[in-house]
Amino acid sequence: MDASSTIAFLHTVADAVDALTLERYERRRLTVDTKPDNSPVSDADRAAERLIREYLERDFPGDAVYGEEEGGSLEHAPRRWIIDPIDGTRNYVRHNPVWATLIGVEENGQMVAGMASAPALGRRWWASRGGGAWLSENGGEPQRLRVSDIDRMDRAAFGFSSLSSWDETGRMATLIAFARATWGTRAYGAFWPYMLLAEGAFDIAAQPGLDVYDMAALVPIVEEAGGTFTSLEGKPGPWWGSALVTNGKLHAAAQAIINETHVQPGSRD
């Protein structure tokens, strides 16, 4: 399947899922359960993932699928669709508009396309390898995305999503160091810091304690906008449980802050 067909399919699926999730969000009548990790899951999360899987089973019955709610395999497959039906469920259930459906497309271990659709914000981002990264606001004409040209830490805007994950992973010193080194620090939650970076509004975004479905769709969007997406340890891709995302020019400096401030468990001075 070529890139244009992939993106057209992602738009079709996102339109259908947005209609479902936005209707339930605006109705404010959700059934919310608690997962073993104490995170919330709503009936809308489950319904959205089921709907995405129905489209995939109809159009791509031989492809692998991995989703937050129904799982799947991450073993090697020629093509895999990686789904977070509602990224930002805590926001969704509290009627905060910062949530999105994330769908990433992996081929032979590489993320080749991704879409993040945030209907309550009226924004949708997407990208395919070699096709650029794009944003449509309220269904309007797509705008091509480009990261910022900021090349100094003291002029950089830094974003993250969850304070608790920095504490739980023993990385508070790193977060504080970023706050001290950069021009400004903001926490917007879930997918949004990385999309703001792709738009050029942030220059660095980072977060520990992530899953592959939190990141897979975002990797091609950031990279096609000219950014760099690695783990906090500098490994490329969404596979390593954390994210360090920059405009590229600041990646080495951001990595240095992490390396200087994080002590690995079990290490000694």
**Is there a binding annotation on residue 84?**
yes
Helix (H, G, I), strand (E, B) or coil at 142: coil
Residue 43 labeled ligand binder: no
Q: Which of 257, 250, 208, 254 lies closest to 227 in space, CA to CA?
A: 250
* 3-class SS letters over 80-129: EEEEEEEECHHHHHCCCCCCEEEEEEEECCEEEEEEEEECCCCEEEEEEC
| 260 labeled part of a ligand binding site | no
* 86 marked as binding residue: yes
Q: How far apart are CA 202 and CA 191, in angstroms?
A: 13
Among the listed residues 231, 257, 258, the one whose alpha carbon sits nearest the alpha carbon of residue 245:
231
* Ordered DSSP codes for 171-221: -HHHHHHHHHHSSEEEE--TTHHHHHHHHTS-SEEEEES--HHHHTTHHHH
Q: What are phi and psi of 199, to 5 degrees?
A: -80, -10
Q: Could you write out the three-class secondary structure of 5-74?
A: HHHHHHHHHHHHHHHHHHHHHHHCCCCEEECCCCCEEEHHHHHHHHHHHHHHHHHCCCCEEEECCCEECC
Residue 255 parent element (H or E):
helix 251-261
**CA distances, 237 to each of 111, 133, 228, 259 (Å):** 8, 17, 10, 19
Report the binding-site residues for Mg(2+): 68, 84, 86-87, 214
| Residues of the binding site | 68, 84, 86-87, 214
